């Protein structure tokens, strides 16, 4: 058996888990993002500051897509783990020879898939409102995959740590949500006061969204290479933490 | 052929520490189970049976000692140990997203077993689940869900099968179906470790039995030796009257049913004379062999009395 034996069936199971309830896990976040576009696009178009030469609504769409990617990647691994822990069916995984590598690859892989499916759905329904260009598409793929991988890993950590649904909700509402909203989804960080610009540059979510947006417009607040370095480093740190927790059986094996 | 025992516990201890102090769930438990054995692990609630099984499955980490499955340490060589182990958990848990067949295919995959449909179909048929193969787990009754738990434990054909109270709260039909299938697997060479509170099942099925109490091993022997070595005769009768004090202290009373241990025929005569002398009206009197429940209670009560007098 290799260290990845069993990863493929677990990955498939995790993908099927969200796909079987796609109305809730895919359609609902797509609708939410569309409502954001309609409301924020209508209210702030012409007043909010975007990238030079880019209309606000066009600027907003990649931010909404990436926000959906990140939030749904986090939701996938975290909700699956906490549900399995609370209902007790995690025992079916714990008694198997699955390595911590297999757990990680399967849970984070499925999170990336859900993030990309929802992000693709948001792009598909919003692109009809405003024409978008794809100036440097490789950045779109790179940052979407890396961001989803990082949030999938964070979801894994949160799912392992949380013992109750409200603990997971606290993680989501007090860490993930603020970091996402304060990352430049709805605005360019250049429109912020200097102190908040500095604060934004300490938030790795800012680099994910800025790098992702670069792929559409060929322009960004920060260098895409700097964004890649920050997001890549953050992903490695979070992934290693998740792997360590899995290897030690943190809150899994008493 | 492997020279290793199917299961080996060596001085296994487990201590839980918390705000309310420490609790010793297992205290230096050691015994082996040979390949092909049908082995019973008995004990009252809180004796440590499930903790011991959890140590074997890797769900709980022992504070001290080691456990192996077919010679593979459950911690340092967990991959090989878990491949050889099939666990039927005590709790009735299931994944509500999947059908029975999907559940079994996924579980096979975790063990690296591909294209397993022929064995899955056989297990489903043996457990009377063939017509439920495509039903969602949520649609199944409690008894059917219990059968799927058994199927999940067997899906990778483990040489060692652990059944943790598999018949708790299930109907007679499932019990018979389950025991018929497990007995077949045992005849084919699978080792079976069974915990149960139904002592007549343990007596009928298990060749050897271990008894735990308060985390310690209190008895370990062949079932026949346990039965032969303890009280060999029991006087059983029903009555509505109060027993004389001399008899009440040694009798086991369940509603109207009274059971009293007797060493030999003379002892039976003495007991009957005591009852007559006290004017106790007796119905359905019978003299029979002691069963495992009598042995179990004798061992547990003996240990309790020792603990009290120590």
Longest dimension (CA), chain A: 59
What is the spatial distance between Cα A20 and Cα B138, in angstroms, rounded to a whole number? 14
* Predicted local confidence at residue B310, as pLDDT: 40
Q: Do A95 and B107 touch (CB under 8 A)?
A: no
Q: Do A9 and B79 touch (CB under 8 A)?
A: no
Q: Is there a domain that residue A239 lies in?
A: yes
* B chain contacts of residue A253, beta-carbon cutoff 8 Å: 58-61
Q: Is there a domain that residue A254 lies in?
A: no
As a 3-state breakdown, chain A gives helix, strand, coil percent values, each rounded to 5, of 75, 0, 25
Contact A16, A112 (CB under 8 A): no
Contact A84, A106 (CB under 8 A): no
Residue of A nearest to B148 (CA): A92
| Per-residue tens of pLDDT for chain B, all 310 residues | 568 999 999 999 999 988 788 889 999 999 999 999 999 999 888 889 999 999 999 999 999 999 999 999 999 999 999 999 999 998 888 988 999 999 999 999 999 998 899 999 999 999 988 999 999 999 998 888 989 999 999 999 999 999 998 887 778 888 888 888 999 999 999 999 999 888 888 888 899 999 998 899 988 988 888 777 665 678 888 888 888 887 887 788 888 888 888 877 788 888 888 888 888 888 888 887 777 777 777 777 765 544 444 4
Q: Do B80 and A97 touch (CB under 8 A)?
A: yes
- In total, how many domains does chain A have? 1
B221 touches chain A (CB under 8 A): no
Residue of B nearest to A88 (CA): B93
For residue B9, the cross-strand partners are: B31, B67
Q: Give the dihedral of Cα atoms B179, B180, B182, B184; nearest 10 deg.
A: 160
A16 touches chain B (CB under 8 A): yes
Domain that holds residue A115: 7-248
A25 touches chain B (CB under 8 A): no
What is the spatial distance between Cα B181 and Cα B176, in angstroms, rounded to a whole number? 9
* Predicted local confidence at residue B308, as pLDDT: 41
Domain boundaries, chain B: 231-289
ipTM of the complex: 0.85
Q: Do B111 and A97 touch (CB under 8 A)?
A: yes
Residue of A nearest to B106 (CA): A9
- CB count in 10 Å sphere of residue B152: 26
Of A127-131, A237-241, A243-247, B40-44, the least confident: A127-131
A80 touches chain B (CB under 8 A): no
Q: Do A92 and B152 touch (CB under 8 A)?
A: yes
B152 touches chain A (CB under 8 A): yes
A-facing residues of B in 52-71 (CB < 8 A) are: 54, 57-61
What is the spatial distance between Cα A183 and Cα A170, in angstroms, rounded to a whole number? 19
Q: pTM to 2 decimals?
A: 0.86
What is the spatial distance between Cα B57 and Cα B35, in angstroms, rounded to a whole number? 17
Number of A–B residue contacts, CB under 8 Å: 81
When scoring A97, A98, A250 by the number of chain B Cβ atoms within 10 A, the one with the most, hence best to mutate, is A97
* Predicted local confidence at residue B307, as pLDDT: 45
pLDDT at A171 exceeding the cut of 50: yes
* Predicted local confidence at residue A126, as pLDDT: 86
Residues 6+ positions from A94 with CB-CB distance below 8 Å? A252, A253, B57, B58, B59
Buried (b) or exposed (e) across A87-102, using 16+ Cβ within 10 A?
eebbbbbbbbbbbbbb
Q: Do A87 and B108 touch (CB under 8 A)?
A: no
Rounded to 5 degrees, φ, ψ at A123 are: -60, -40
Which SS3 state, helix, strand or coil, does residue B140 take? coil
Q: Do A98 and B108 touch (CB under 8 A)?
A: no
- Of the candidates A89, A97, A253, the beta carbon closest to that of B59 is on A253
């Amino acid at each position: 058996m290799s260290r990845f034996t069993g990863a493929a069936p677990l990955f498939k199971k995790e993908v099927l888990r969200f796909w079987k309830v796609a109305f809730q896990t895919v359609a609902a976040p797509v609708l939410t993002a569309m409502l954001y576009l309609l409301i924020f696009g209508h209210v702030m178009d012409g007043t909010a500051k975007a990238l030079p030469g880019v209309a606000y609504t066009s600027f907003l769409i990649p931010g909404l897509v990436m926000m959906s990617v990140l939030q749904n990647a986090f939701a996938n691994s975290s909700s699956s783990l906490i549900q399995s822990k609370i209902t007790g069916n995690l025992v079916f995984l714990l008694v198997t020879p699955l390595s911590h590598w297999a757990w990680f690859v399967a849970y984070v892989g499925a999170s990336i898939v859900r993030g990309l499916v929802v992000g693709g759905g948001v792009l598909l329904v919003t692109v009809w409102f405003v024409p978008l260009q794809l100036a440097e598409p490789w950045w779109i793929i790179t940052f979407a995959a890396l961001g989803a991988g990082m949030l999938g890993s964070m979801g894994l950590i949160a799912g392992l740590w949380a013992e109750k649904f409200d603990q997971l909700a606290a993680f989501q509402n007090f860490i993930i949500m603020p970091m996402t909203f304060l990352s430049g989804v709805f605005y360019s960080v250049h429109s912020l006061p200097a102190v908040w610009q500095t604060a934004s540059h300490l938030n790795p979510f800012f680099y994910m969204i800025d790098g992702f947006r670069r792929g559409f417009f060929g322009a960004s607040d920060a260098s895409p290479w700097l964004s890649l370095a920050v997001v890549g480093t953050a992903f490695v740190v979070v992934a290693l933490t998740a792997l360590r927790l899995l290897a030690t059986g943190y809150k899994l094996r008493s | 052929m492997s020279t290793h025992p199917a299961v080996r516990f060596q001085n296994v201890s487990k201590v839980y520490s918390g705000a309310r102090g420490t609790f010793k769930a297992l205290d230096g438990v050691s015994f082996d189970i040979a390949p092909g054995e049908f082995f019973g692990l008995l004990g009252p609630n809180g004796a440590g049976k499930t903790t011991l099984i959890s140590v074997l499955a890797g769900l709980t980490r022992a504070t001290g000692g080691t456990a192996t499955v077919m010679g593979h340490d459950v911690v340092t060589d967990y991959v090989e140990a878990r491949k050889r182990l099939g666990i039927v958990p005590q709790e009735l848990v299931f994944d509500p997203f999947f059908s029975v067949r999907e559940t079994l295919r996924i579980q096979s995959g975790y063990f690296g077993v591909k294209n397993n449909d022929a064995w899955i179909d056989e297990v489903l048929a043996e457990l009377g689940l063939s017509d439920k193969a495509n039903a969602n787990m949520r649609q199944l009754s409690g008894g059917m869900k219990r059968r799927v738990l058994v199927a999940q434990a067997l899906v990778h054909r483990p040489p060692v099968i652990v059944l943790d109270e598999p018949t708790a709260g299930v109907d007679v039909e499932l019990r018979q179906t389950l025991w018929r299938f497990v007995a077949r697997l045992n005849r084919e060479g699978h080792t079976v470790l069974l915990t149960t509170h139904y002592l007549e099942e343990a007596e009928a099925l298990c060749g050897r039995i271990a008894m735990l109490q308060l985390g310690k091993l209190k008895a370990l022997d062949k079932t026949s030796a346990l039965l032969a070595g303890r009280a060999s005769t029991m006087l059983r009768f029903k009555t509505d009257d109060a027993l004389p004090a001399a008899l009440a202290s040694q009798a086991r009373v369940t509603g109207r049913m009274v059971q009293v241990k007797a060493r030999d025929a003379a002892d039976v005569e003495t007991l009957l004379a005591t009852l007559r002398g006290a004017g106790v009206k007796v119905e359905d009197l019978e003299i029979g062999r002691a069963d495992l429940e009598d042995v179990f209670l004798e061992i547990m009560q003996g240990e309790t009395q020792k603990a009290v007098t120590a």
